[in-house]
């Protein structure tokens, strides 16, 4: 039987079903922005190990992404996600872990404790525990313990850079960023963000008189591992000046830091550009990979 357009009803029902499925996916993607990015990230070329404990507690677990087939120990990137230290889950970042694995990098994506369960500096202590676990276990999952990099987006970039500049946190895990970390990549991160205006952040970072001690820029002495700071030109969430001020301080002290600015992305889409769906927006993944490869081989930081 055919409808008035002459199209068979069976074929029409197929198209209605397809369109309904697409609409449902689109609606879910609006509710969960990472849904489509994670959907296309799946593939047999990436092996994922989930929910590996690195400490005591439900939140202290991590996922590992690695190439399904790779020879020799690979560089490792520990990636800390953002969320204002109040929200986030490692499961939402499959697209990041898979993108790095497909570039020949082992990616470690941890959870860490968040407010209101904890405040500063507990999430930094959790982050240091992740690095300790990674260094101790790199060989088990094909990683090179001598080529461990830290990376993060937004609040996660703060975590990564804090571990590199304020030696208390890795020191508590019997590590030293100068010798144990090969490099750090901060993506749209806050590193010098006082005074605070958000009421929740005021609680998270404690009394006003103590807040300068929470700022990574205040610990720079030039001995940090190389830093690559990537930022959107027009970031409406985190002032892009955080990256330029930190890089200037590091370089003035004799360290090595570079800033890459992208003009077609925002605070969230700079990370979304790691997915092939949005890679046309900015070469963020490629720049991170180039940095890791250069520092793994003793090369210079791209500027």
Residue 79 has pLDDT above 50, yes or no: yes
| Radius of gyration (C-alpha) of the chain in whole angstroms | 21
Q: What average pLDDT does the segment 256-269 reach?
A: 98
CB 265 within 8 A of CB 238: no
What pLDDT was estimated at residue 12?
A: 55
Q: What average pLDDT does the segment 66-71 reach?
A: 89
CA 23 to chain CA centroid, Å, is 30
Q: What is the mean pLDDT of the chain?
A: 91
Q: Is the Cα torsion angle 76, 229, 171, 179 positive or negative in sign? A: positive
Report the percent of the chain where pLDDT is more than 90: 83
Mind listing the pLDDT tens digit for each residue in 149-199? 999 999 999 999 999 999 999 999 999 999 999 999 999 999 999 999 999
Alpha-carbon distance of 99 to 40, in angstroms, equals 11
Alpha-carbon distance of 303 to 258, in angstroms, equals 5
Task: Specify the pTM.
Answer: 0.88
Residue 144 has pLDDT above 70, yes or no: yes
Residue 292 has pLDDT above 70, yes or no: yes
Alpha-carbon distance of 238 to 234, in angstroms, equals 9
The count of residues in the chain is 303
Give the tokens for residue 93. 């970042």
Give the tokens for residue 77. 């990137």
Alpha-carbon distance of 140 to 93, in angstroms, equals 22
What pLDDT was estimated at residue 103?
A: 97
Give the tokens for residue 169. 């946190």
Q: What average pLDDT does the segment 106-131 reach?
A: 98
What pLDDT was estimated at residue 298?
A: 67
Which band of pLDDT confidence, cut at 50, 70 and 90, is reported for residue 1?
Answer: low
Alpha-carbon distance of 288 to 274, in angstroms, equals 10
Domain residue spans in the chain?
1-31, 45-296
* Domain at 45-296, CATH from 3.40.50.150, 3.40.50.1820, 1.25.60.10, 3.60.21.10: 3.40.50.1820
Give the HSE-up count for residue 160: Cα atoms under 13 Å, Cβ half-sphere: 34
What pLDDT was estimated at residue 70?
A: 80
Mind listing the pLDDT tens digit for each residue in 210-229? 999 999 999 999 999 999 99
Give the tokens for residue 99. 């993108």
């Amino acid at each position: 039987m055919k409808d008035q357009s002459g199209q068979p009803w069976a074929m029409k029902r197929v198209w209605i079903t397809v369109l309904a499925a697409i609409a449902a996916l689109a609606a879910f993607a609006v509710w969960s922005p990472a849904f489509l990015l994670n959907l296309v990230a799946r593939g047999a070329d990436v092996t994922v190990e989930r929910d590996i404990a690195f400490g005591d507690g439900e939140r202290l677990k991590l996922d590992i992404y690695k190439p399904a087939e790779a020879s020799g120990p690979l560089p490792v990137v520990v990636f800390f996600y953002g969320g204002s230290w109040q929200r986030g889950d490692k499961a939402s970042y499959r697209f990041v872990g898979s993108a790095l694995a497909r570039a020949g990098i082992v990616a470690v994506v941890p959870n860490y404790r968040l407010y209101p369960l904890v405040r500063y500096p507990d999430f930094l202590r959790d982050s240091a525990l992740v690095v300790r676990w990674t260094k101790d276990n790199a060989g088990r999952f094909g990683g090179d313990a001598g080529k461990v990099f830290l990376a993060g987006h937004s609040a996660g970039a703060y975590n990564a850079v804090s571990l590199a500049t304020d030696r208390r946190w890795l020191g508590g895990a019997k590590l030293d960023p100068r010798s144990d970390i090969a490099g750090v990549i901060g993506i749209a991160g806050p590193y010098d963000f006082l005074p605070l205006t958000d009421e929740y952040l005021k609680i998270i970072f404690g009394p006003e008189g103590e807040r300068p001690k929470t700022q990574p820029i205040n610990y720079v002495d030039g001995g940090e591992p190389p830093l690559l700071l990537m930022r959107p030109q027009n970031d409406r969430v985190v002032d892009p000046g955080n990256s330029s001020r930190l890089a200037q301080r590091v370089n003035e002290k004799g360290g090595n830091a570079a800033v890459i600015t992208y003009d077609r992305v925002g605070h969230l889409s700079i990370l979304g550009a790691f997915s092939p769906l949005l890679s046309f927006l900015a070469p963020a993944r490629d720049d991170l990979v180039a940095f890791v490869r250069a520092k793994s081989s003793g090369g210079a930081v791209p500027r």
